[in-house]
Amino acid sequence: MSVLVYVETDNGLIKKSSFEAVTCGKKLGEVTVVAVGNVAEGELSQLGKYGVSKVLHVADERLDQGVIGATATVVAEAAQVVSAGTVIMARSSMVDAVAPRVAVKMDAAVASNVVAIPDTSAGFKVKRGVFTGKAFAFVTLPGNKRVITLAKNAVAPEEVGGDAAVEVLSVNFGENDFAVERLSAHKQEGDILLPEADLVVSAGRGLKGPENWGMIEELAGVLGAATACSKPVSDMDWRPHHEHVGQTGIKVSPNLYIAVGISGAIQHLAGVSSSRVIVAINKDPEAPFFKAADYGVVGDAFEVVPKLIEALKN
């Protein structure tokens, strides 16, 4: 099976989630990667370590602006060039818009939020997370062309060795591919961005006020984690809105999610339920979060968190 993987970059560096998509593709067949815009030197060739044989690069600076229509044209044309029946992309706000457009251009079936390597023993069956992670749907994609978007942390990246040849791909863009012009962009600030974070420390109203957030930031610093918060906290301006995780905020899928003083309302759980391991710290033993958590600590956050920080430092 010929597989094409679109790798997304941030500031010229390939996102970790794209390496996960490459590993997923390698489980299915021969993998070719397509990348767009300015990419740091050496980033594309290192894809060979993950089993990629060839990388197609469209070095058009206009694609650095995240132009959805033009990116979809690139991916669809690359799939045609390498005769790929399967296109895999790692889920992101950009990919969620690009993937269905690619499917239309390829006349292909499409499945989003795939949480496991597809089963090709009898057709092409995928397992999707649905209802904000509260259930799974098993879907068989018809035909011989399909586009799937892979949920973060669905597949662990695997280095298998090898070299990847990087080739320049020339694409004939249509007059509408760049019809939308981006006037400005405001990105989340901070060393570790929530959508890409492997570790997240989050807190809620149990901290009683913004003046107590120092211990949350210290815990995150010790772990090398991103900080987050519940919706009520951001609504009260205790924390910036870009830290709000939940159904109406950012949805995260870290390896570890630590929730401090958050009750665990269903809207919050919808944004964190795909985390690999969840730890809840709450003084209320009946807090709903304990039903969703892998580990729970019943205790006062102002006593538990400082002791946790001390233990981690030691």
pLDDT (tens digit per residue) in 265-314? 999 999 998 898 999 999 999 999 999 999 999 999 999 999 999 999 99
What's the domain range around 33? 2-168
What CATH number is given to the structural domain containing 284?
A: 3.40.50.1220
- In a shared domain, residues 144 and 288: no
Task: Name the pTM for this structure.
Answer: 0.82
- In a shared domain, residues 16 and 148: yes
Phi, psi torsion values for 306, nearest 5 degrees: -60, -40
Total domains in the chain come to 2
- In a shared domain, residues 99 and 144: yes
Task: Tell whether 173 is covered by a domain.
Answer: no
Single residue among 134, 168, 202 that ends a domain in this structure? 168
Q: pLDDT digits over 82-100, tens only?
A: 999 999 999 998 999 999 9
- In a shared domain, residues 37 and 158: yes
Please tell me the distance from the alpha carbon of residue 253 to that of residue 147, in angstroms, as a whole number.
22
Task: Tell whether 180 is covered by a domain.
Answer: no
Please tell me the distance from the alpha carbon of residue 199 to that of residue 248, in angstroms, as a whole number.
21
Task: Tell whether 130 is covered by a domain.
Answer: yes
Q: Is 47 exposed, middle or buried (0-12, 13-18, 19+ CB in 10 A)?
A: buried
Residue 189 scores a pLDDT above 70: no
Residue 190 scores a pLDDT above 70: no
Closest CA to 270 of 290, 299, 246: 246
What CATH number is given to the structural domain containing 151?
A: 3.40.50.620
- In a shared domain, residues 137 and 212: no
Task: Tell whether 175 is covered by a domain.
Answer: no
